[in-house]
Each structure stands twice: as structure tokens, then as C-alpha cells.
Structure 1
Amino acid sequence: MEHSPDGQAVARPRISARISAISESATLAVDAKAKAMKAAGRPVIGFGAGEPDFATPDYIVEAAVQACRTPRFHKYTPAGGLPELKQAIAEKTLRDSGWRVDPAQVLVTNGGKQAVYEVFATLLDPGDEVIVVAPYWTTYPEAIKLAGGVQVDVVTDESTGYLATVDQLEAARTPRTKILLFVSPSNPTGAVYSPAQVAEIGRWAAANDLWVVTDEIYEHLVYGGAEFASIAVAAPELGDKVVVLNGVAKTYAMTGWRVGWMIGATDVIKAATNLQSHATSNVSNVAQMAALAAVSGDLSAVAEMRTAFDRRRQTMVRMLNEIPGVVCPEPQGAFYVYPSVKELLGKEIRGKRPQTSAELAELTLEEAEVAVVPGEAFGTPGYFRFSYALGDDDLVEGVSRAAKLLSEAR
């Protein structure tokens, strides 16, 4: 109990200001509500979670089974990751991105989210600024905030396919800017920067002595003529001031296995490993051995998923663009579409006039039994994020329900 200047007792807050400021993951919250409604008997179709609807490939599961039977993996292992997995990640990075790294530059983390938190905790001091292109994934702002950083948004919209220009990035730069967060393919928009655009942005960052943190979790999920390019390779001028975040979740349908990684300069990785040694120690050895099988194998599993995602992507974009007042650019990567619903706001739908995309998403869930994530969660109100990582029949049924409801707007 603290006391005020006049001697009165003042209760201390139960929860720290730092943690109280954290928002719940909006995507997980929407998914949880949809599942709860479904468990209560309502036929909800959820477009909220970014989770492939495929099972983890059998050979990966079998590697985990064998690890369970190996006494070595019943014990502590190095906090930074199994040596054989770090070696395999280095080899995979060279194979898939053309970036040659040493295993000592790899830190294996408990999913991609831990890598996101640890890189900002390692690089940022209080007041350091991070340029973030909006719309952005919901976890980035919380991780930056926890590290004491200041997020500076560069807002994009459907008119440019949600791509930021160097001029926009330069306008956001200040003497306090330390990091550019670069994400391609993007969650939530599916935007993919061309190799030339990636190189131009990387050169700009290098010329201004900025760090680049790049999230490459969707590297293998690109469609049509789009081409993934790692900024670490496209802009060698960055030198060692680039940190790559990645993981097995999306490529190998392993969201629940919780294995991610970060790759960077050895001093950065050593510092982040020290943090992890106190926070969680080693990632589950069973999951690490499953990840080893994944990154060491071929990419046939993701090729199969990509074919299905591409088909669903085209179907969803076509159906959404047929709804009056909805504008949906065609995404080039990941497994999301990000349509604008701004023209529907303020219009009457079943006796209500939603003023925000969050209110419209709530109405869509209650009236159409379709769960989507509103743009407020991604820093750009006026939009919906739909994931197309669900079965074709559910996708068509869900979008049809939403279309029927939204078409009633007057």
C-alpha cells in the first residue's frame, strides 16, 4: 500500500502498466468466439485464424514420434536450439533464399511470435522508433511496445495494393528511427513486393543506417507472377543489419508445433539467446525434431497447399468483388484477402447502422454466422480480413452468407 502526500492510503495497481497496455490478439479472439458459438450449436464459419486446414505431413509427425522414444530428447538441450536443427535451418535458408548463414547466426524460438518479441527486445532501447507498414499483423505493435519502442506507421491502402513506397518510408523517418519492419508476403493483406521493390527499400534502409527486421513466414506462399525475394539477399548493402524471422507454421501446416527462428548477426543472436535462456530455455525437443524433418525435406507439401490456396484465393476475390460497396484487391501471397468495406459503413443493415468495421464484423457474426477480423485489429479501420485457409465448400458458403447480409446495406 502506497500513501498520498496527505497520508491517505492508496492501493497499488494489481497489474503492471506495461502488461495492462497489451491488447489481446484480435485474430485469436475472433477465432475463439467463433469456436465457442459453434460449440453452442450455431453453424459459424470462421475466416479469422491464419491456420492452414491441412494436417502436418506424416513424415514430420513420425520424426516427432521417434524423438519421443529417444532418451536424449527427454533432457535439457541448448537454449538456442538443437545444433542439427540450426544447421538444417542454415542450409534451408541458402536453398530457399540464397542467403548463406552460419548455424551460429540462428536462434530457434517457441514459434514465430517469440522471435518477434525477442528481436525487438534485443535491438530496441526506450524511445527508439520502428517504421511499420500498415495494415500490420496484430502482434508487432505489442512486441514493439513491450520493448520500449515507438511504432511509426506508414499507412497503405487498396489503391496501391497495400504496398509502401520509399518516399512514404522516408517521410516517416526521424533521427530516432532505428528499425524498418519489412514484411512480404504480408499478413493481413497478401501484398508481395517485387524483387526490384525489395532491393530499392533495402538500399534506402542501408543508406540511412537502419536495421531491417523482416518476417518471411509466408515465403513459399506466392501466386501467379509474384516472386518472393529476401531483403537480406536483394539488398546486400544492409550487411549484418538485417534480421530474418521465419518458422515452420505456415509452410508445413505446423501452427501448433510452435517452432520458429530468427537469423542475424552473431552478437544479436547471442544476446537474444541469453534472453531466451531465462524466459523459456530450449524449445520442446520433440517439436524441434519435427521441424528438422520439415526443413530438411522437400517442398511438396507446401506445393499442394499452394495449389489449393490459389484456387480459393481467386474464388474469394471474385465473390467479394461482386458485393456492392466492397473493394477487394487480388492478393499475391500468404492466405488472406483484405477487402475495403468503407462504403458500407453508416448504411442500414437489418435495423442497424454500423459505423465502424468492428461493428460491421460483429453484425456479420451475429446475423450471418460468419467470423471475420475487422481492420481495426491491423491498424486500418474500414476493412475486413478473410483467411482462405479453410475448405472450399466452407469458403463458398461463408462468403455467400456474408454477401447476402452485406448486400442488404441501404
Structure 2
Amino acid sequence: MTQPDATSDLALVVSRLATWLQSMRGPHGYTGPVPHWWQSSLHYTGIGIDWRYEGIITGYLHLYRASDNAHWLARACQAADDIARAQLPDGSLQASSFERNPLPNGTPHEAACALALLRLVVVLQAVADLRWQGYLAVAGRIIGRQLSRLWDASVRAVRDDPDVPSFVPNKAATLAEAIILLAQISHSPTLISDYAVPILDTIIAHQLPDTADPRYVGAIYQNSFGSQPVPKFFPLYIARCIPALALGTQVTGEPRYQRAALQALAFVLRWRTPDVRFPQVVYPHQRVNRYPQWIAAVGDILHAIQLLAPERPDLRAASQAWLVRGQLPSGGIRTAHGFAAQISQRTPPAPPDLRDLLPVCGWNDKAFAYLTSQLMPQAAQAVRDDLPLEPSTHACQLRGVLGTYEEDQQQLSFRQGARMLYLWRKGAAVPDVCDPVLYLK
């Protein structure tokens, strides 16, 4: 199949992606392996109740609003039911740690699930569908658990770890966004003043000021321990701070949050490469870790650009084309370019790394949420999620082992000739075959 570009039928791109997402569903939710910058999980492949649900539910709601097709609202509720089923008695969620699944208490993942549920609540309330009550209760318990476990009253911010004085701006931003929406739905403005505003102020305290090196103005530190920030700047994670900051100005009237959001976006765009890709990490003194370069996850950056500069589609066009070109014949979108160069940071060798090719629910959700937001009503009405899934076959490598990646409706695999190195049947909690070469950190 000819790969689509930015001028192709976006409804077809979204239909193929929606069909692929359905192929990744198990009995209780969306499954699959997870390659990530921090570590990869190829040997746990079961359900993940993590940030994948933020983009999946949001994307279905975009389709429902644009098409008025109840099928998409049903899909959103089906995904919401996955979250509700996975909630533990203390309010946390099973398997909510993405690349560290099946661990619970994942950040920002549980907050992202709550945010998705609350967006669904707003839609259900508008059509007088009483299911909103149950989803609101689940989201409230998630947020309550997050605050009871992570809130540090001494600094008026959320820790990333209850036992370590720590702060991660992008994770806290997701929680702040969920708190604001919960406050609006429940008519509880003190949630904003007591929790969301202090979190947003702490994010701004992690942002480099106007007096910084001009190349770094607007950058947001990845995290801090105590009062010591860690001098790393991840464009993707900085982009994920932007929606909460922009929302902060909407609900408080304080311009400082919008100003911080605009400066953050300017930093992200400043470091976009001439070939419209985003580096993985920017360090002090203009040192850059270029690889791996995200493909599917660029949806979150595109969302941030659209949010702050809706009148400038030119700022998005080339990066949107980069994202869409990553769509595989199966309909899933590649995770990245350059995993094989993560250590060396030299030009990635050919063929691509297996982790580059693997489409992942928790990266594709970001593409899904963004692309569905671009559909006009007529195009949205043409979207389907029951297309034939075209098999994918690609030469690839992993740790110097050359092989072939294959995916179809039922499974995905990595083989070297007749030797099967990896075989995962979609929906299964573990792969049938996982050679030691795939035991990755």
C-alpha cells in the first residue's frame, strides 16, 4: 500500500489507525509491547491502564463530536469501562506504569486516565447519559488517591515518589489538568486554588527565565530532587506541560500561565531540526541527544502547537506529514526513528531498529487524538474501524541481529530466517517467544 502523506485522505489515515487499535484490544483493554527511552517492556504485553487511554478516549470523543455517530461514543465508553474495571480499592489502577507494567501507581498515567474519564463525563452530561456518574466517581477516586499519596504540603506540590522529595513538571501538569476539569464538573473551585494553582506555579518555577541563554528561554527542567533541578530538557515532555499551563490562564485569569506556555512552545519549536524532527533531549551548552526521534508521539507536540497557534497551520504541516509518513501498512504508526543510535548518537544504521517499527498503543494514542481533531464533519463521518488490516513486513535489527518484523491482525513477530526470536499473539499478557536478545532495559 502506498503510504499517505499530508495531502492524502486523512479519514483513511484515521480509519486505518482506528482499525489497528481494535486489533490491539484484548478482553479487558488495549495491550502490546512498549519500547521507550527509559526502558522497554517487550516481555509484558498485557493490558496497560496508562496514558494510552488519554489519547484513545479523547480521539473517540473527537470522532463522536465531529460525526455525531454513536459508535464512537460507545468506543469511548468501552475504553472507560476498562479503566473502571482496573481500579483497585485504594483508588489506584492496575498496570498503570506503561514501560514498567504491570505495576500500579503510575505517573502521569493514572492522572491521564482520570483526565480521559472527565472528558467523557462532559460529553455524557451534555446528552443526559447517566453513565457519567459512574465515570466521575472513578476519576474522583483516582485523583483523590494521587493527592493523598503524592501531595507534599510543605512545598504545596505533588511528588513523583511519595518517599522522595521530587517533582516532574510534565507529570504534575497532567494531574493539574485533571484537577481543573474535576473542579469545573463538581463545582469545587477550591480544588483549583488549593492544588492546581500551586502545581502550575511549581512548573513555572522549573522554567528557564528570559535572562537565560536565548536558546533555552522557556525550557522546562525534566525534574528536580528537593531544590535541585536536573538539567535535561525533553521537547515532548515540555509540550505535555503546555495544555495545563494554558488552561491555568483560562480558569484564573492570570496571564503568567499563558506566557509560560508560549515560551515553552517557542523552546520546543526552536529546537526542531531542519528536517522537522524533534530531538529526544536537549542538555546545557547546546549538547543534544538526537535519537530516538519520536514519530507517533509527535501528536502531543502538534496538539500543543494547535492549542497556542491555531491560526498557524504552517507550524504543524511538516511535522504532521512526518507523523503520517510513519503509518505502517497495518495502520499502526511507528514509534520512532533511531533507537539503534540511542547510545552512540551517530546516524542510525539501516535497517531500522525493531523498537522503531513497533507500533505501541501508548504512543499511537497521541497520534490518534491529534489526527482525529483535524477532521471536518464530512471526513469524520467516513471514518471506520473495521477495515481489513494489511500485513506489515519489514527488515529490521536489534542489538546487531538482523531479522524481519511482521504484523497482521492476530500477531506480531521478529524472526531471523527460520529462527523465531519474538512472537506475540495480540491480546496475550506475555509473548509466546521472547529470545534473550529482547531482554532490554
Give the TM-score category using the shorter length.
under 0.3
Tell me the TM-score normalised to structure 1 length.
Answer: 0.28
Tell me the TM-score normalised to structure 2 length.
Answer: 0.26
